[in-house]
Structure 1
Amino acid sequence: MISCFTLMTLTACTAAEQELPVEVRIANATPAVSVTARGETTPVGTPNADAADDPAIWRNAADPAQSLIVGTDKKAGLYVYGLDGKSRDFLDAGRVNNVDLKDGVAINGAQGVLVAASDRNDVANAKVALFRLDTATAKLTAIGKIDGGRGEAYGICLGRDESGLSAYIVLKDGTINQLAIDASGATPTARIVRTMKLGTQAEGCAVDDRTHILYVAEEDVGLWRFNARASGATTPTKIAAADGKNLVMDAEGVAIAPIGEKDGYVLVSSQGDNAYVLYRLRDDAYVGRFRVVDGAVGGTEETDGIELMLGDFGPAFPGGLFIAQDGHNAAAAQNFKLVAWDDIVQALGLAQP
């Protein structure tokens, strides 16, 4: 979260942080189209703080309007929300930063929804906190923690291939540890199968299970991709630089819009100018930018985590659901804004799948 300026001033940041006021950054950035949110969650419970951070989505295929959102209050724990934005559950899990989930995972001998959160309660020793999401009751149950390596836990994303389920935990210094997870027994277990490295602070990540590519945002540098397989090369490929034009540092949350067998878009939060950037998956080409502005509910600013899932989510979100953390939620505590993917597609003139 950027802390060295406010939206009401033109005061420059410290030289050490090397950031310009947000108004200047917006003026220098590539133009962005505007969309409005169709919904929002209730604010997190921690007021007057940078608290809400990252969302994850579970889609109810049988009744899409009854899908669920899991979101972090990184000072306190995990929330479960309905698509109406109302809180359905809160679990005191302490300082959990980012969150992701996978359906159809063997958990304690039964198939279910596994939720994984980067646990930074011990800043010297990263953990991944694991939970079961009961989709009938919208309740979370803690099932254990696994070691994520030495360092402060920051980002987290899950990926799955023929070898099983992996968690990719992004440490604050840019180290990325891939953990092979087994949650089928009474206590979850994991082992670090390989380590990747970016040069500076990184956080947001997402895995494309179709192509087995891991996308990671290095905050002041740009967006990268890695081979996501445990046997894959650990050398990253840069997709886009945080050049102050298309992508304005900090580069934060990452999400994927999969279309067809290999195509679609990767989205990244351009936190420095309150925008979101799309790159095409098949060739890493820049596609466009958008902002979430005030409408029926407020817009978004200084977004950390984002998530996107395509498909039917009921009448309000028929083509897919995009969620963004809002760092300035008027006089209330921070929350998450819900945007229809259809509105983004229309605003940017994207080709329909």
Structure 2
Amino acid sequence: MRRLSGTIAKMTMMPLILGATGTICTASSSEADSCIPLYDKLTSIDAKRQWSPKDDIITFKLRNGIVGTVTLGSAEFRLAGMKGTLPYPVRSVGGSPCIPGSLWRDIQAEDAKYANAENEIRVFAVRAQDETAPLLGDEDTVDDLAIWVHPDDPGRSLLLGSSKAGGIHAYDLGGSQVRRYGLSSMNNIDVRYGFPLGGRLVDLAAATNITANTIDLIPIHPRTGELDMAASSSIVPAMPKVYGLSLYHSLRTGSYFAMLLGEEGEFEQYELLDDGRGRIAGKMVRSFRLASASEGMAADDEYGLLYIAEGDIGIWKYDAEPRGGTAPLIKVDTADGRRLQEDVEGLALYYGANGKGYLLASSQGSSSYAIYEREGNNAFVSSFTIEDGEQADRATAADGIDVSSFSLGDRYPHGLFVSQDDSNLEGDLKLPPNFKLVGWDSIAEGLDLPLPTLPHTDPRELQLRRSADE
């Protein structure tokens, strides 16, 4: 991660400030001590700003979409997805934040970028079609979800939602809660199909249990979708505090893995094994560390790739295999405010026909969703928002997401996208968070895509594919 500036050494004779290129340079005392009124300057370039009185954070968005933040009383700042340190803390002068001239020059340099019309970010809107019932009485509740596809009747598929207030909740495709499993506080959840356990193949749900600090693995009944809690297993990770999770089924080797993220950026990969007693054991096969807190993950089983959302940095792509190394293959995108605005939260993969499809990411800071090509270097396609529908309100500050390209019965014949909604509203009444459901046909229309005449990809029948550079 490139920093915009370094901290000042105590014995420095000349103060260090940030130059327009992001490098550290020396300046005269008068230049370092200059005080630029931030609000007046932002107004002069038609930038938007917002102040949070709770923590004295000022967030500003430039005309081209780039975002920056400063905090009163702090020398730390962010600009265009990078962190930096000022020569002195931001202070209030005459009711306006006062910043060094060095930072203002960098803001001007960022504002001059992406000025051409072809650099404009395309954003379209879809309508929320359904929503899940909120968990009344709970505050920070549902966080993440996974779509489980019924093997015989896709219209009976379920949404499995994790709750920080405790447990896993199962919803039908109309948003009604059909079951609640009273477990500990759960954070991320994922599903895979056909795991060999006790001489049979079972569908598997996995979730991070932040109360017990474990990965909980639960077989799913193949006909009813019920979680078999009596047959559940737990893996105790090495990291002190579990956070994000994704399952991965390697089509190269047939092995299944649980990918785990910690609150401090730790990553651990566990191979899942039948312990011979009807339970699932985990063997750590890889570990590394990201620079900062990361939560969202999605594994592409067909291409053998893993995507990780580093909350205030962006999206990284890794080899998903245990011998895939510890360095990312590429950085898919940066959380500079244009397509992604911190925090980058949920990630999901839309499996299209013949190896095509999309990577989707929830941009919490902008209440939008970015779409990237699934193939190659994941070129950016477009962004969209979820607005008020006839039966449900808009989605804002989203966390976990999931998507299915498979036809899910009459209600969602072309597939389904689901997002957590942090600010769930009913008129002027704010309810606890819930999930918003959107048919893929609405997203396809926004992308000017033809609708498929057949179901795209059955998640139980994925195929091993090779990327262009293999």
- TM-score exceeds 0.5: yes
**Residue 205 (1) aligns with residue 205 (2):** no
TM-align CA RMSD: 2.2
CA distance in 2, matches of 1:26, 1:333: 33
Q: Deviations over 1:295-350 (max 9, x none)?
A: 11111011100001111011221111111001011132211111111110111224
CA contact 1:116–1:128 (8 Å) conserved in 2: yes
Instruction: State the identity as a percent.
Output: 31
**Residue 291 (1) aligns with residue 378 (2):** no
Amino acid of the structure 2 residue aligned with 1:271:
Q
Tell me which residue corresponds to 2:326.
Answer: 234
**Structure 1 residue matching 2:446: 3-state secondary structure:** helix
Structure 2 vs 1, CA of residues 26 and 289 (structure 1 numbering), >3 Å: closer, same or farther?
farther
CA distance in 1, matches of 2:55, 2:350: 36
CA distance in 2, matches of 1:308, 1:183: 29
CA distance in 2, matches of 1:219, 1:329: 22
Tell me which residue corresponds to 2:436.
Answer: 337
Tell me which residue corresponds to 2:370.
Answer: 277
Q: TM-score, normalised by structure 2?
A: 0.68
Judge which range, 108-117 or 33-42, deviates more: 108-117
Judge which range, 302-311 or 147-156, deviates more: 147-156
Deviation at 1:183, TM superposition (A): 4.0
CA contact 1:43–1:335 (8 Å) conserved in 2: yes
Structure 2 vs 1, CA of residues 45 and 99 (structure 1 numbering), >3 Å: closer, same or farther?
farther
Matches within 5 A, 1:96-175: 96-122=186-212, 126-142=213-229, 143-161=232-250, 162-175=253-266
Structure 2 vs 1, CA of residues 175 and 261 (structure 1 numbering), >3 Å: closer, same or farther?
farther
**Structure 1 residue matching 2:431: 3-state secondary structure:** coil
Tell me which residue corresponds to 1:35.
Answer: 126
Partner of residue 214 from structure 1, selected from 286, 291, 306:
306
Tell me which residue corresponds to 2:417.
Answer: 322
**Residue 20 (1) aligns with residue 59 (2):** yes
CA distance in 2, matches of 1:93, 1:19: 39
Deviation at 1:187, TM superposition (A): 2.4
What is the number of residues matched between the two proteins?
A: 338
CA distance in 1, matches of 2:140, 2:63: 22
Structure 2 vs 1, CA of residues 139 and 46 (structure 1 numbering), >3 Å: closer, same or farther?
farther
CA contact 1:25–1:248 (8 Å) conserved in 2: no
Tell me which residue corresponds to 2:78.
Answer: none
Amino acid of the structure 2 residue aligned with 1:169:
L
Unaligned runs of 5+ in 2: 1-48, 67-120, 453-470
CA distance in 2, matches of 1:85, 1:15: 34
Partner of residue 315 from structure 2, selected from 203, 223, 226:
223
Tell me which residue corresponds to 2:347.
Answer: 254
Amino acid of the structure 1 residue aligned with 2:240:
G
**Structure 2 residue matching 1:150: 3-state secondary structure:** coil
**Residue 192 (1) aligns with residue 284 (2):** yes
CA contact 1:25–1:272 (8 Å) conserved in 2: no
CA distance in 2, matches of 1:144, 1:210: 26
Deviation at 1:180, TM superposition (A): 0.2
Q: Deviations over 1:159-211 (max 9, x none)?
A: 11114100001111111111001146322211110013211010010000110
Deviation at 1:135, TM superposition (A): 4.3
Deviation at 1:26, TM superposition (A): 10
Structure 2 vs 1, CA of residues 135 and 44 (structure 1 numbering), >3 Å: closer, same or farther?
farther
CA distance in 2, matches of 1:153, 1:350: 39
More strand by share: 1
Amino acid of the structure 2 residue aligned with 1:137:
T
Unaligned runs of 5+ in 1: 1-9
Deviation at 1:93, TM superposition (A): 1.4
CA distance in 2, matches of 1:57, 1:19: 37
Q: Which has more radius of gyration?
A: 2
Q: Deviations over 1:48-74 (max 9, x none)?
A: x22111010111242111111100111
Q: TM-score, normalised by structure 1?
A: 0.89
CA contact 2:150–2:225 (8 Å) conserved in 1: no
CA distance in 1, matches of 2:281, 2:198: 11
Relative contact order (alpha carbons < 8 A, sep ≥ 6): 1 or 2 greater?
1
CA contact 1:45–1:73 (8 Å) conserved in 2: no
CA contact 2:131–2:434 (8 Å) conserved in 1: yes
**Residue 177 (1) aligns with residue 264 (2):** no
